[in-house]
Amino acid sequence: MNRPDNHILVIFGGRGDLAMRKIVPALYALYSEHLMPERFAVVATGRTGVTDEAYRGEVKKAIGGASGIKVSVTEDSLLPGADKTASAAAERSGANADEFVSLFHYIDFDTSVAGDYRRLPDFLEVIRQKFNIGGNILFYLSVPPDLYEVIPRNLAQQGLNNEGDGWKRMIIEKPFGYDYRSAGKLNRTLLETWSESQIFRIDHYLGKETVQNILVTRFSNGIFEPLWNRNYVHHVEITSSETLGVEMRGSYYEGSGALRDMVQNHLLHLVGFVAMEPPSSIDSTSIRNELVKVFESLRPISIDEVHKRTIRGQYTGAHVRGEWLKGYREEVNVDPVSMTETFAALKFNIDNWRWGGVPFYVRTGKRLPTRVTEAVIHFKPTPHYLFSGESLCDGCNQLIIRIQPDEGILLKFGMKIPGAGFKVKNVNMDFHYSDLAAERIPEAYERLLYDCMKGDSTLYTRSDAVMAAWKFLDPVLEAWKNDSSIPVYGYPAGTWGPEKADDLIEEPELTWRYPCKNLAEDGVYCEL
């Protein structure tokens, strides 16, 4: 991997939670691995006036920094929730924290005021001259969604979208729109002043190693791809569960819910990687073309079918391992009679030659028993089960792709139990990314930032994919909003969601896969 072009990175909202917990540590990890440009500078913006030195102190704390040659990896030097991987990488490479933070600069102005943007070109020119950097600029919009139209338009008015002196790129965080209509409006507004090739819509799930490995598992192994179709696959199941509630994000979550927050972006893209056809080559255009084809092949869920094909739920208060966890409606900034879903499950089909007749099941929820994201390929059973008189191989023939937290791949199949007779036992053949002790698994934001700096949009979402995903989910959102006969099922915190979700699975003898039946006391994933 070679270094990107020299450029200036401008972080709007550079003192915010996302910038300090994810973006800054990711930049430092890239810097420690010698994957940043030879010459670069970071400019952060914010409304509060602080000096460069004061801001650099915040940056050093964000990366777990301490004075000296190396970064000290200690608990008290890290921001709450900060990832240690950047600091660990720095210790191995001996990266100089002071040298890194010296490249950060701060400018205060109000991003909602058009006149304030007039100061930015001159400020960037001073930085460009100081570090001998050309005209390449990467803008990162780590700001609330209501600024996604405002900032690009004002940057364009100052000519900062003009690529005459070097490339100009812009990273936009999710949520990209609130529904199909708002996403379309945002797209049209952006494309008035910026080209599609300049816009990078980030989805951090696509930066995870295991998501990218889905392509390798499928397309580099002759034993999997021939079976990856309706002839051999019974159904596909994707789960993303969290043990946490909404915490202090109640005001955001009230306007979002599980369907918008997780399904529209993260989980539908996992579906896309699992279901896509082999691309003609491993390049951005080819891969994203195949993803869009999957989204456009999703069989529409009509408003009349929503109550049959979807389940929504909301966690209620419960004791979990001796601790009382309050319900969603008791959380801060949540309406006491809120109908916002914290759990969503869907059943749908992909109408194409490969997947015709194969049901896909997707679920996500908060306050579930464990934190895990996985895609499960359930293969069809043998047409004649010889050993059913002795024992049924429950859960056999599953390929489980673990996205987080214990990244890996697990294959489940039946084996004979030693002794008389033919009793069958379910066994696992597994691989953990952590077994690659000599390799460091980069954080998702590291990979995505590096790719954008290189101009590689493979793992970023294209506008037509965003619109296709919203088009598919819009009837569900409309029905949930307007049809009072569709219930919001309560489920106690610490359980796997509403029991009614089992009814989505077509065969009565089948149910969702419960990843950790014997949950460890610390709540970590325990299947692998």
Model pLDDT for residues 11-30, shown as the tens digit of each residue: 999 999 999 999 999 999 99
Instruction: Give the DSSP letter of residue 87.
Output: H
User: Phi then psi for 423, rounded to 5 degrees?
Assistant: -80, 135
Domain locations in the chain as residue ranges: 7-204, 208-383+457-504
Token output for 28: 């430092």
Confidence of residue 428 (pLDDT cuts 50, 70, 90): confident
Per-residue pLDDT, 420: 65
Residue 527 scores a pLDDT above 80? no
Cα-based distances in Å from 304 to 363, 401, 460, 480: 20, 33, 33, 11
Token output for 242: 């969290």
Per-residue pLDDT, 490: 96
Residue 62 scores a pLDDT above 50? yes
CA–CA separation, 434 and 408 (whole Å): 8
Assign a CATH topology to domain 208-383+457-504.
Dihydrodipicolinate Reductase; domain 2 (3.30.360)
Catalytic residue, candidates 235, 266, 269, 378: 266
**Residues contacting residue 459 through CB under 8 Å, at least 6 positions apart:** 203, 206, 207, 212, 447, 448, 451
Radius of gyration of the chain (CA): 24
**Which strands sit side by side in the sheet containing 40-46, from one edge to the other?**
104-108, 40-46, 7-12, 137-141, 168-172, 199-201
**Residues contacting residue 250 through CB under 8 Å, at least 6 positions apart:** 331, 332, 333, 334
- Quick one: which H or E segment has residue 269? helix 268-275
Average pLDDT, rounded, for the chain: 87
Confidence of residue 384 (pLDDT cuts 50, 70, 90): low
Per-residue pLDDT, 525: 45
Model pLDDT for residues 84-135, shown as the tens digit of each residue: 555 555 454 445 888 999 999 999 989 999 999 999 999 999 999 999 999 9
Residue 266 a catalytic site member: yes
Q: Determine what percent of the chain is predicted with pLDDT higher than 90.
A: 67
Mean pLDDT of 179-186: 96
Least confident of 49-58, 176-185, 404-413, 461-470: 404-413
Q: Are 37 and 131 in contact (CB under 8 A)?
A: no
Query: Quick check: do 7-204 and 208-383+457-504 share a fold?
Result: no
Q: What is the pTM of this model?
A: 0.88
Burial class (CB in 10 A: 0-12, 13-18, 19+), 323: exposed
CA–CA separation, 509 and 109 (whole Å): 61
Confidence of residue 522 (pLDDT cuts 50, 70, 90): very low
Residue of 213 and 489 predicted with greater confidence: 489
Confidence of residue 468 (pLDDT cuts 50, 70, 90): very high
| CATH number belonging to domain 7-204 | 3.40.50.720
**Residues contacting residue 356 through CB under 8 Å, at least 6 positions apart:** 230, 349, 350
User: Phi then psi for 307, rounded to 5 degrees?
Assistant: -70, -20
Least confident of 56-65, 172-181, 444-453: 56-65
Residue 74 scores a pLDDT above 90? no
